[in-house]
Chains A and B, each alone.
Chain A
Amino acid sequence: MTAHALLPFRLAWRQLRAERARLFSAIAGVMFACVLVFMQLGFRSALFESASALPRAMQGELFLIHPLTTALFRPEPLPRVRAWQCLAVAGVAEAVPIYLAQTSWRNPVTGARRAIQLVGFDTEAGAVSFPGLSTLIQDLKRPDTVAFDSRSRPEFGPVPAILAERGPFIVQIGNRLTEIVGTVSLGASFGADGNVVMSETNFRRLAKNRDVSNIDLVALRLRPGTDPFAIQTQLTELLPKDVIVLTHDQLVAWERNYWETATPIGFIFAFGSLMGLIVGMVIVYQILFSDVASHLSEYATLKAMGYSSSYLSQVVLSAAAILAGLGFIPGALASAGLYHLVAKATLLPLRMELERSGLVWLLIFGMCVIAGLLAMRKLRDADPADMF
């Protein structure tokens, strides 16, 4: 019986196979849609991931931000005293102020200037852990020293290469000569092309025109065994309304939410994916439709022989499913290659993920099925009564 269920599928495959040029253009159409959707969804998730790289690297259990802070690359300052006020709550072990600002960086090779993100904090507090930071803590205590994010965009200059070649060197950051003592790994985001990390004191040297009692973010370390949600409620009641208390997940989600809702970026990628699916659907529909239209008398003959309309519908849907599969596999492989190339060129975290592949497969399959359902309507024109 199972062999019989496969007969419409086999007929569909034989029909597709007979017209090589048509088959390849259909596969190319599905591939195109597949690559487009993969790239759009990949960029979308890379954007959200890289945008939240900074909050994700933070080690605290709870965080304070100003309620008007929309995203960490553009923070609203809050009074530093809020950090110390938190210490009144028994469960809070440590409160670490974090300073954020953007300033210009002069490329050490070309001299070109570009905005870079400054991240200042007490490097010994352990509230922020960027890979590579632990070995630089002593060096960062010296005046006018910073650690450069090795995953910043290449426009900032070949800093890691120069470091490897001749050790720590001087660059100009915000009109001040500053020593690069090493590299950490953080990653470029859409909000910041590159980062430098430094101590509180050195931050103040670089960002001179701001009130020293203003900070941008507070990371709170809790005593072991305390419930972060209970402390969160307690702090929210205790502190004035110029701060909000977030857990680590909420802070990451806050940052993500900015890019998803306050910018058209999320919509653009969803729209791009939809366009790809529509173009792919039209191509698949055209191919399936012309396959039916050019075999109308043969299909009518099959109906006369006693094949039901639903059997022929299965043939068309099988053809759609075959095209989905044949287009998705090379499409996914091409996308994996493109991810690799684009990730190298843009330093965005683009990876082929199982979950996303599953989603794209469902979208591509759905696209082909809808095209098949549309093309199936043409089967009604195959009337065996017209055959005589």
Chain B
Amino acid sequence: MTDAAPVRLKGVNFSFGEGALRRPVLRDLDLNVAAGEIVLLTGPSGSGKTTLLTLVGALRAMQSGSCVVLGQELMGASETERVTLRRRIGFIFQNHNLLGFLTARQNVAMALELDPSSTEQTRLERAAFMLTSVGLADYLDTPPNKMSGGQRQRVAVARALASGPGLILADEPTAALDRQSGQDVVRLMRDLARQSGMPILLVTHDPRILDIADRVVSMEDGRILAETT
């Protein structure tokens, strides 16, 4: 089963800067995320966990090692290959980053417009379904600036999950939220991902949400320190 794991990293090194300023942030890192698994990455600032997430999300070009995400080797992958892979990944950011000039439903539908086989009607229906499943059935046509922080982050979750991605990547999704809405959003993510067997790789500092994970990976200085299940 390990071979078919959605995320397989082997011997990944990554550095920022050139020459004397070269600063390694990931050192010979190995990590697998199995299908349907929820993995939390924790660690102090500068431990490399966010860089790891951008590499897995195909947002940054690899430097050395091997990183296979959803069957695509990212080492040496072209910009086009990375853009195509990103369409199969759901991203949830620290800030919701919803488009302010679109309603909640239109924002979610944006994640579906990349599929040329979809029609406007199927997209809007799917978006409404996703918003209903995150408990925002009454906010379909509300613009983001008329919603609370928790509601916006739930729209972002609905958007990330709408196209049925093979992997969810989340970066501090609770950082901008209070305790209760943070808990709600993360549990919602977990429940929706479990239903469809999507794996989640989540970076967090927030000790209150550690309990949702199947596995917690602690990082420091670009290496994995410990894994707890």
Contact call A388/B99, Cβ cutoff below 8 A: no
Known: A298-B97, A305-B87, A307-B114. A388 touches B50 (CB 8 A): yes
Contact call A308/B83, Cβ cutoff below 8 A: yes
User: What CA separation (Å) do A301 and B85 show in the bound complex?
Assistant: 15
Contact call A384/B59, Cβ cutoff below 8 A: yes
Contact call B97/A301, Cβ cutoff below 8 A: yes
Contact call B86/A298, Cβ cutoff below 8 A: no
Contact call A4/B87, Cβ cutoff below 8 A: no
| B60 in contact (CB, < 8 A) | yes
Question: Which residues of A lie under 8 Å from residue B99 when comparing CB positions?
Answer: 15, 295, 298
User: What CA separation (Å) do A385 and B60 show in the bound complex?
Assistant: 6
Contact of A388 among B54, B87, B116, B159 (CB under 8 A): B54
Contact call A15/B101, Cβ cutoff below 8 A: yes
Question: Which residues of A lie under 8 Å from residue B91 when comparing CB positions?
Answer: 301, 304-305, 387
User: What CA separation (Å) do A295 and B99 show in the bound complex?
Assistant: 8
Question: Which residues of B lie under 8 Å from residue A205 when comparing CB positions?
Answer: none
Q: Give the shortest distance, in Å, between B43 (CB) and chain A (any CB).
A: 14
| A358 in contact (CB, < 8 A) | no
Question: Which residues of B lie under 8 Å from residue A298 when comparing CB positions?
Answer: 97-100
Known: A3-B120, A14-B101. A305 touches B114 (CB 8 A): yes
Main secondary structure of the interface of B (DSSP, over half): loop
Question: Which residues of B lie under 8 Å from residue A17 when comparing CB positions?
Answer: 101
| B219 in contact (CB, < 8 A) | no
Contact call B101/A305, Cβ cutoff below 8 A: no
User: What CA separation (Å) do A1 and B117 show in the bound complex?
Assistant: 8
Question: Which residues of A lie under 8 Å from residue B54 when comparing CB positions?
Answer: 385, 388
Band of interface residues on B: 35 or more
Of chain A, the residue at the smallest CB distance from B97 is A301
Q: Give the shortest distance, in Å, between B172 (CB) and chain A (any CB).
A: 8
| A7 in contact (CB, < 8 A) | yes
User: What CA separation (Å) do A384 and B106 show in the bound complex?
Assistant: 21
The interface centre, meaning the residue of B85, B97, B110 with most chain A CB atoms within 10 A of its CB, is: B97
Of chain B, the residue at the smallest CB distance from A8 is B113
| B129 in contact (CB, < 8 A) | no
| B63 in contact (CB, < 8 A) | no
Of chain A, the residue at the smallest CB distance from B88 is A306
Band of interface residues on A: 20 to 34
Contact call B110/A297, Cβ cutoff below 8 A: no
| B93 in contact (CB, < 8 A) | yes
Chain A positions 371-388 with a Cβ under 8 Å from a chain B Cβ: 384-385, 387-388
Contact call A301/B111, Cβ cutoff below 8 A: no
Contact call A387/B97, Cβ cutoff below 8 A: yes
| B53 in contact (CB, < 8 A) | yes
Known: A297-B97, A388-B93. A306 touches B87 (CB 8 A): yes
Q: Give the shortest distance, in Å, between B51 (CB) and chain A (any CB).
A: 8
Fill in one digit per residue for B80-112: 1 if any A CB lies within 8 Å of its CB, else 0. Answer: 100111111101011101111110001000110
| B200 in contact (CB, < 8 A) | no
Contact call B101/A388, Cβ cutoff below 8 A: no
Contact call A387/B59, Cβ cutoff below 8 A: yes
Of chain A, the residue at the smallest CB distance from B159 is A305
Question: Which residues of A lie under 8 Å from residue B37 when comparing CB positions?
Answer: none
Known: A3-B120, A17-B101, A295-B99. A387 touches B87 (CB 8 A): no
Chain A positions 286-307 with a Cβ under 8 Å from a chain B Cβ: 295, 297-298, 300-307
Question: Which residues of B lie under 8 Å from residue A300 when comparing CB positions?
Answer: 97
Fill in one digit per residue for A1-25: 1 if any B CB lies within 8 Å of its CB, else 0. Answer: 1011001000100110111000000
Question: Which residues of A lie under 8 Å from residue B50 when comparing CB positions?
Answer: 388
Of chain A, the residue at the smallest CB distance from B83 is A308
The interface centre, meaning the residue of A17, A295, A297, A308 with most chain B CB atoms within 10 A of its CB, is: A308
Chain B positions 102-150 with a Cβ under 8 Å from a chain A Cβ: 102, 106, 110-111, 113-114, 116, 119-120
Contact call A18/B100, Cβ cutoff below 8 A: yes
Question: Which residues of A lie under 8 Å from residue B87 when comparing CB positions?
Answer: 305-306
| B167 in contact (CB, < 8 A) | no
The interface centre, meaning the residue of B50, B94, B101, B120 with most chain A CB atoms within 10 A of its CB, is: B101
Contact call B113/A7, Cβ cutoff below 8 A: yes
User: What CA separation (Å) do A295 and B98 show in the bound complex?
Assistant: 10
Known: A295-B99, A298-B97. A304 touches B119 (CB 8 A): no
Contact call A305/B95, Cβ cutoff below 8 A: no
Fill in one digit per residue for B50-67: 1 if any A CB lies within 8 Å of its CB, else 0. Answer: 100110010110000000
Question: Which residues of A lie under 8 Å from residue B114 when comparing CB positions?
Answer: 305-307
User: What CA separation (Å) do A17 and B54 show in the bound complex?
Assistant: 33
Of chain B, the residue at the smallest CB distance from A307 is B114
Question: Which residues of A lie under 8 Å from residue B88 when comparing CB positions?
Answer: 306
Contact call B119/A385, Cβ cutoff below 8 A: no
Of chain B, the residue at the smallest CB distance from A305 is B111
Contact call A304/B59, Cβ cutoff below 8 A: yes
Q: Give the shortest distance, in Å, between B196 (CB) and chain A (any CB).
A: 18
| B203 in contact (CB, < 8 A) | yes
Contact of A306 among B53, B86, B95, B102 (CB under 8 A): B86
User: What CA separation (Å) do A1 and B113 show in the bound complex?
Assistant: 12
User: What CA separation (Å) do A7 and B106 show in the bound complex?
Assistant: 12
Nearest first, the 6 closest Cβ-Cβ pairs linking A and B are A18-B101, A306-B87, A301-B97, A306-B86, A388-B171, A385-B59
11 A-B pairs with C-beta separation under 8 A: A18-B100, A19-B101, A298-B97, A298-B98, A302-B110, A303-B83, A306-B86, A307-B83, A384-B59, A388-B50, A388-B54
Q: Taking A307-B83, A388-B94 as given, write out 15 further A-B residue pairs in contact, using a Cβ cutoff of 8 Å, ordered by the A residue number.
A: A1-B116, A3-B120, A295-B100, A297-B95, A301-B91, A304-B86, A305-B86, A305-B114, A306-B85, A306-B88, A308-B80, A308-B83, A387-B93, A388-B53, A388-B93
